[in-house]
Each structure stands twice: as structure tokens, then as C-alpha cells.
Amino acid sequence: MTATRPLSLVTGASAGIGEAFARELAARGHDLVLVARREDRLRALADELQRTHGNSCEVIAADLSDPAAPESLCRALESRGLQVDWLINNAGYGLPGTLVANPWQAHADFVQVMMTAPTELAWRLLPGMHERRYGRVVNVASLAGFVPGTAGHTLYAASKAYLIKLSQSLALENRDAGVHVSALCPGFTWSEFHDVTGTRQKMNAMPGFMWLAADEVARQGIEAVERGKVVHVPGRINRTIKAITEWLPDRLALWLSHRQSGRYRNHHD
């Protein structure tokens, strides 16, 4: 890695918003560490970005549902002499069904990926950012972290609300060290997410104005953290939903959230 290029680590970089972050950061002159389970996809993306932008792209295949993965990942960085300037905690997925419809191990894996791993990666990488007096951390949360929880995908909104609160605290704790921390909170985004959760057919019935492209979400996330914006909700319609939800009485907001969630979520799987 050259001294003039920031080094960005992107988790969940094999598709969707994570891949979009990798492409946008590479175009802005960053070297990259790409992390995900699917090594073949990571290597194809790394080769493409290196040819296009002349940057360096390291590939580390890791399953963040493994509690040992964050420490192992950071040891791999150290062994390669890599110092992370930007941490993009993007890895995530949805777990369809109610709480009791899934085995406990599925929930434990989900909490590990969505909450524990991003927290541990920040804990392990922030000290180096402090030493260099520069760093950026983007925790990819969701508009779901602001609206009332719904039946089905029980832990998803809860995990995203956690990332928002975590980002707010980290932003305050690290701002005097030259480190900016932001929670990026997109709404509906074109990606593989809904194919994996089995809700693609429902999602295709949603109006087009509700959606943002992954590259636009990533671009706004990068610009927000650079400005020191602690929480960013991309898209006017998403900001409107957030504002309405905050204004409504809790009981009414919960009822509306439950009623509307049937359009894009399977309540009783």
C-alpha cells in the first residue's frame, strides 16, 4: 500500500451495498481490503478494480458468524502490514420468520454478524486510527432502525437500531482524535438482499420511487462520514418516513408499521 492512498476495509464486499462501497472507494483512490465469505466473487472484484483504478486490493475470505473471525481478520491485516484508515461495517443479511420459528443457533449467528462483529472490528481498529490521528467508520444500519419493529425478521430492526446508537456514541468518543463515525441508514436498495430472504416477488410490487441504487447509497455514505455527519438517511422518501414515524404517537406508528410490513415481509414464516 502506498503512503498516499487511504486503506479501506469493506465487509460484505461481494455484492450489494458492500460491492458498491468498494467500487466508489476505489474510484476515489483508496486501496482496499475486501472481506466476505465468497472468495471467488471477491477475487473477481479485486482484479477488476485493480485493472480499472491501479489500486491495491487485498482479499480476505471470512465468515463473520464465527466469533473468532474479527480477531483472525485483524491478525491477517497485521501479518500483511496493513493499517486500516476506513472501516465499512456493511456485512449483513435478513433472517425470515418469527423468533421461535428459527433455531437459536440461527439467531446467535445473526447477532454475531450484525452486532458483535462490527463492534469488535471497531474496537480492534480504532486504536490505530487514533495513533495516526485519522480514521473513518461507516456502520451500515437501516431505516428499519428508526421505525417500529414488526412481526417476522424479529432481530433485524433491533440490530440496526443498535448500530445507530453505537455509531452515535463512537462519533462522540472519537471526534477529537480525527476519527469520524457515521451510521448509514438506507431504505429499500436494489441488491441481492431480498432474493436471499425470499421476498423478491413482494418487493417487485413496491413502487419504483421507494428504491435507491446501491451505488448512490454508498456514495452518500462516503460523503456523509467525510462531513462528520453522524447519522445519514439517504433519499427524500426515506427521510420523510423517518420524520413521520418520529412525529406519530407510538401506538399509531406501531399499527401502521405492522400494516405496511405485510407488503414486503413474511410475518409468520
pLDDT digits (tens, 9 = 90+) for 137-196: 999 999 999 988 888 899 999 999 999 999 999 999 999 999 999 999 999 875 555 445
The pLDDT value given to residue 179: 98
What mean pLDDT do residues 70-80 have? 98
Average pLDDT over residues 2-30: 93
Domain range summary for the chain, segments of one domain joined by +: 7-261
Q: 89 to each of 249, 254, 262, 263, how far by Cα in Å?
A: 32, 29, 29, 28
pLDDT for 16: 95
Q: Which of 24-33, 109-118, 238-247 has the lowest mean pLDDT?
A: 238-247
Count other Cβ atoms within 10 Å, centred on residue 150.
20
Position 197 scores a pLDDT of 45
- E strands of the chain, at which residues? 7-11, 31-36, 57-61, 86-89, 135-140, 179-184, 231-232
SS3 131: helix
How far is it, in rounded angstroms, from Cα 239 to Cα 224?
Answer: 15
Residue 247 pLDDT: 78
- pLDDT tens for 229-250 read 999 999 888 888 888 888 777 7
Cα–Cα distance between 38 and 26 in angstroms, integer?
Answer: 20
Active-site amino acid positions: 156
Classify burial at 251, counting beta carbons within 10 Å of its beta carbon; exposed 0-12, middle 13-18, buried 19 or more. Answer: exposed
Q: Average pLDDT of 69-96? A: 97
DSSP lists the bridge partners of residue 135 as 179
pLDDT at 1 over 60: no
Q: Are 205 and 260 in contact (CB under 8 A)?
A: no
pLDDT-derived band of residue 206, with 50, 70 and 90 as boundaries?
A: low
Burial of 248 (0-12, 13-18, 19+ CB in 10 A): middle
59-63, 221-225, 244-248: which range is least confident on average?
A: 244-248
Q: What is the CATH number of domain 7-261?
A: 3.40.50.720
pTM of the model as a whole? 0.88
